[in-house]
């Protein structure tokens, strides 16, 4: 008998149900080999699209059960989870549309040109093929949209890759129910059920990333856990790509002009953003640079009032709660740091949101700034750090110390936002170097599923330059291959003259 896997209610700390057992090495091997056997059946794009749409429909028809189970395991609330399920179904259908269109195959055909210089050109035809079995590591804070039926799974299936998902221990029952729906959708689409396989257990995750038939991995989680798996993927005899989203501070810069125009509005917006979902969004603004003058004081006063009015909330599990309380206390105890609204214990197993503030000079000081490194690390939960800067030099010095991020935000004054070039443009350029998504006069806690979306950023925000949200996420699970002087009868249909599949292509430099 293996180690049992229990579903736990974070509101009470009590076990709900036994979901299964942790997979051992032999079971991981069996799961991966079963998924690999499903790879040839995924070659038909129409079948993949049918799978994705079928999965979306099954999720929607099972919404009441799935949402109730997820709420019981995560305490995220029915309204939030209802929206998350809708998002999950939407992105499954969005990838089905991408599969139907076929542009993701990136077909390029160059016919032979003996007269080409400096070297004659042979017949070359290039497109992209699936990597193989993809390991997906489910996220704690999004039990649907970034877990078993989430974006990594959807994009991998769209690319033609079978998926083995390592369930997150915070929502094993939700994972099992969603995996059952995906497997059912696969069968109804004419595919093997093992197109999607679910595993439980920490060691299973380690075994998975090192299995020789796993061709790539997608991860959303902590920096230590993600980095350990990333290193294991790189240390294999045949290294594989590891697409990890690890952690992000998501800095916000409020200019003096913005604070003068709408300090109260910005303060209220910040309170709503960093406490949204009990501060458990990967895009939570965790560091906010505001002016040190009277307008900055107005912003902080509004932030204090609005944060104090937010009710305590329950985090995803007791371990995260303990880490949050310890991290908040350690930050508040630093010299020169104050906590106008102190985060801490809430009712029962809940926590109170809050924020700490510090002068930018402390962080910018070349000699003593390292003592405040903790303020430049993500604290998972409803806490943000407000840094008061006196001038552009202090602002720049703090920004220079920041690691890579998923997002970076600038709140600008009306005239700054309309003026080309100048300080605002320089600020955006600086923020662009720090993050994968740059926002102006908004808040980062919201990641639209759209073709132009980018959800990633410089390390440690992610381990690659790719996105885990949006249509181009499919590119992670593909590799290009070119055929040279290949007889037409032996070419894949996607590369034959006449475009028999009717997909977008570039032929001799002309898009068709």
Cβ burial 218-238 (10 Å sphere, 16+ → b, else e): bbbbbbeebbebbebbeeeee
DSSP characters for 249-317? --EEEE-HHHHHHHHHHHHHHHHHHHHGGGG--TT---EEEEESSHHHHHHHHHHHHHHHTSPPEE-S-
Question: How far is it, in rounded angstroms, from Cα 262 to Cα 251?
Answer: 19
| Whether the Cβ atoms of residue 185 and residue 501 lie closer than 8 Å to each other | no
Question: How far is it, in rounded angstroms, from Cα 238 to Cα 216?
Answer: 11
* Active-site entry in 245, 256, 416, 494: 245
- Residues in a beta bridge with 407: 437
Question: How far is it, in rounded angstroms, from Cα 416 to Cα 262?
Answer: 14
Catalytic annotation on 178? no
Question: How far is it, in rounded angstroms, from Cα 469 to Cα 452?
Answer: 9
Question: How far is it, in rounded angstroms, from Cα 220 to Cα 468?
Answer: 9
- The 3-class SS string of 90-122 reads HHHHHHHHHHHHCHHHCEEEECCECCCCCCCEC
Catalytic annotation on 245? yes
Question: How far is it, in rounded angstroms, from Cα 432 to Cα 73?
Answer: 37
Non-local (6+) Cβ contacts of 370 within 8 A are: none
* Active-site entry in 161, 178, 282, 379: 282
Strand order in the sheet with 435-440: 338-341, 354-359, 383-389, 287-291, 251-254, 405-411, 435-440
Non-local (6+) Cβ contacts of 81 within 8 A are: 67, 70, 71, 74, 143, 144
Which residues form the catalytic set?
A: 245, 282
């Amino acid at each position: 008998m293996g180690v049992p896997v229990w579903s736990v209610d974070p509101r009470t700390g009590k076990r709900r149900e036994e979901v299964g057992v942790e997979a051992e090495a032999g079971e991981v091997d069996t799961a991966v080999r079963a998924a690999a056997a499903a790879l040839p059946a995924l070659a038909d794009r129409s079948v993949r699209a049918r799978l994705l749409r079928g999965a979306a429909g099954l999720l929607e028809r099972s919404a009441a059960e799935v949402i109730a189970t997820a709420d019981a395991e995560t305490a995220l609330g029915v309204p939030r989870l209802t929206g998350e399920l809708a998002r999950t179904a939407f992105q499954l259908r969005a990838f089905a549309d991408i599969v139907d269109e076929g542009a993701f195959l990136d077909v390029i055909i160059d016919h032979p040109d003996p007269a080409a210089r400096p070297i004659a050109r042979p017949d070359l035809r290039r497109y992209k093929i699936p990597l193989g079995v993809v390991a997906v590591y489910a996220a704690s804070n999004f039990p649907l949209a970034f877990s078993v039926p989430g974006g990594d799974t959807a994009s991998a299936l769209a690319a033609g890759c079978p998926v083995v998902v390592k369930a997150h221990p915070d929502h094993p029952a939700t994972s099992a129910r969603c995996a059952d729906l995906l497997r059912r959708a696969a069968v109804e689409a004419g595919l093997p059920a093992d197109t999607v396989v679910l595993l439980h257990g920490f060691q299973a995750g380690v075994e998975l990333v090192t299995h020789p038939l796993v061709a790539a991995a997608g991860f959303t989680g902590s920096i230590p856990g993600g980095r350990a798996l990333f290193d294991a993927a790189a240390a294999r005899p045949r290294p594989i790509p590891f697409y990890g989203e690890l952690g992000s501070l998501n800095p916000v810069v409020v200019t003096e002009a913005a604070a003068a125009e709408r300090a109260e509005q910005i303060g209220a917006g910040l309170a709503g953003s960093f406490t949204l979902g009990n501060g458990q969004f990967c895009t939570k603004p965790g560091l906010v640079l505001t002016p040190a003058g009277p307008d900055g004081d107005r912003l902080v006063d509004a932030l204090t009032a609005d944060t104090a009015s937010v009710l305590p909330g329950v985090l995803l599990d007791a371990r995260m709660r303990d880490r949050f309380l310890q991290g908040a206390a350690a930050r508040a105890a630093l010299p020169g740091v104050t906590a106008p609204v102190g985060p801490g214990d809430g009712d029962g197993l809940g926590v109170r949101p809050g924020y700490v503030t510090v002068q930018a000079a402390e962080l910018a000081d070349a000699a003593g700034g390292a003592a405040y490194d903790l303020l430049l690390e993500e604290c998972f939960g409803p806490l943000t750090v407000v840094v008061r800067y006196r001038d552009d030099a202090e602002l720049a010095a703090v920004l220079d110390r920041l690691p890579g991020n998923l997002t970076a935000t600038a709140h600008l004054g009306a005239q700054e936002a309309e003026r080309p070039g100048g300080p605002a443009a320089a600020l955006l350029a600086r923020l662009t170097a720090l993050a994968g998504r740059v926002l102006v006069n908004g808040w980062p806690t919201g990641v639209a599923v759209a073709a132009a979306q980018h959800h990633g950023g410089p390390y440690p925000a992610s381990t690659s330059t790719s996105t885990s949200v949006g249509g181009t996420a499919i590119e992670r699970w593909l590799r290009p291959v070119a055929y040279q002087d290949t007889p037409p009868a032996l070419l894949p249909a996607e590369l034959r003259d006449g475009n028999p599949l009717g997909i977008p292509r570039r032929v001799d430099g002309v898009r068709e």
